[in-house]
């Protein structure tokens, strides 16, 4: 059954001639040991989402940094891409995937070799200043915090630095959102992997794409909000399924 499904998706990707976009969510990274923060085993069942709001961060930056360095950073920094991430990177290298649009902050697409990654919810490995826009790699600020237990300050303007992850109550980065919407308008295939498509505005991306006539394919363990609009819904682990799509693509392209 899954061989047939993989072939259907492979054909659609080849026929779209590079006008395909992959949209990923937490589900693709659970196989890399990163908890789906919203899922049944998710972090939000252990800690309150209240503490990952912008409001809480601004009110209690030291406590917020403590939680980030204790609960988020080590898991994300040590995570490795899984076969699903590598398969997507390979599809891009073969010229079939134009970009990956992700809700994840774990940078595993880049670690797997994907070149064009649009991160709608920011990234875990950088800091940003909300006042002057300063950005930097987070590593040294994490070490600094471990020593001082005081939230690091912006070297430019002195305002408190925040991990470059979009917290609840915060806007999504404008440039990334704009780029993602443009792709949603122009792509012919959108492949959703590991997202149940309930978090807005990110979930608008596949919605716009199908309104503009793109074909939708979904690889997700649980039902999603757009299942009824999809050409095909695959209820399999992405790390098992996507490599078979790559195999079929290579057969179609006579690469093997
Ligand atoms: Zn600043």
Summarised one tens digit per residue, pLDDT across range 52-79 is 899 999 999 999 999 999 888 999 999 9
Q: Distance from the CA of 75 to the center of ligand 1, in angstroms?
A: 27
Q: Distance from the CA of 114 to the center of ligand 1, in angstroms?
A: 30
Instruction: Look at residue 256 in the predicted model and tell me its pLDDT.
Output: 66
pLDDT at 51 over 80: no
pLDDT at 39 over 60: no
Q: Distance from the CA of 134 to the center of ligand 1, in angstroms?
A: 5
Total-model pTM: 0.94
Closest CA to 203 of 35, 59, 26, 57: 26
Residues marked as catalytic: 121
Percent of the chain residues past pLDDT 90, beyond the cut: 84
pLDDT band at 175; cut points 50, 70, 90: very high
Within 10 Å of residue 27's Cβ, how many Cβ atoms? 24
Instruction: Look at residue 217 in the predicted model and tell me its pLDDT.
Output: 98
pLDDT at 230 over 60: yes
Mean pLDDT of 103-118: 97
- Helix pair angle (2-15, 238-252), 10° resolution: 60
Strand order in the sheet with 99-102: 117-119, 99-102, 20-24, 189-193, 215-219, 232-234
pLDDT digits (tens, 9 = 90+) for 90-106: 999 999 999 999 999 99
Q: Distance from the CA of 126 to the center of ligand 1, in angstroms?
A: 14
Distance CA 23, CA 2 (A): 20
Instruction: Look at residue 30 in the predicted model and tell me its pLDDT.
Output: 93
Q: Distance from the CA of 133 to the center of ligand 1, in angstroms?
A: 6
């Amino acid at each position: 059954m899954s061989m047939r499904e993989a072939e259907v998706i492979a054909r659609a990707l080849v026929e779209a001639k590079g006008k395909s976009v992959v949209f990923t969510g937490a589900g693709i990274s659970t196989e890399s040991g990163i908890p789906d923060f919203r899922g049944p085993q998710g972090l939000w069942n252990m800690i309150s989402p209240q503490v990952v709001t912008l409001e809480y961060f601004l009110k209690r930056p030291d406590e917020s940094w403590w939680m980030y360095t204790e609960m988020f950073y080590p898991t994300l920094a040590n995570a490795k891409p899984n076969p699903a991430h590598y398969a997507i990177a390979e599809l891009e290298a073969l010229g079939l995937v134009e970009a990956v649009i992700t809700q994840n902050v774990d940078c595993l697409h880049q670690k797997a070799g994907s070149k064009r990654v649009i991160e709608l919810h920011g990234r875990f490995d950088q800091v940003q200043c909300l006042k002057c826009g300063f950005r930097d790699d987070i590593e040294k600020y994490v070490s600094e915090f471990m020593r001082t237990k005081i939230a690091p300050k912006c070297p430019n303007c002195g305002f408190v630095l925040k991990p470059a992850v979009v917290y609840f109550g915060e806007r999504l980065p404008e440039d990334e959102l704009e780029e993602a919407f443009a792709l949603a308008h122009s792509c012919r295939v959108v492949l959703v992997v590991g997202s149940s498509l309930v978090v807005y505005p990110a979930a608008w991306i596949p919605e716009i794409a199908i309104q503009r006539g793109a074909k939708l394919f979904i690889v997700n363990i649980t039902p999603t909000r757009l299942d009824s609009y999809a050409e095909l819904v695959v209820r399999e682990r992405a790390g098992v399924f996507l490599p078979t799509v790559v195999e079929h693509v290579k057969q179609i392209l006579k690469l093997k």
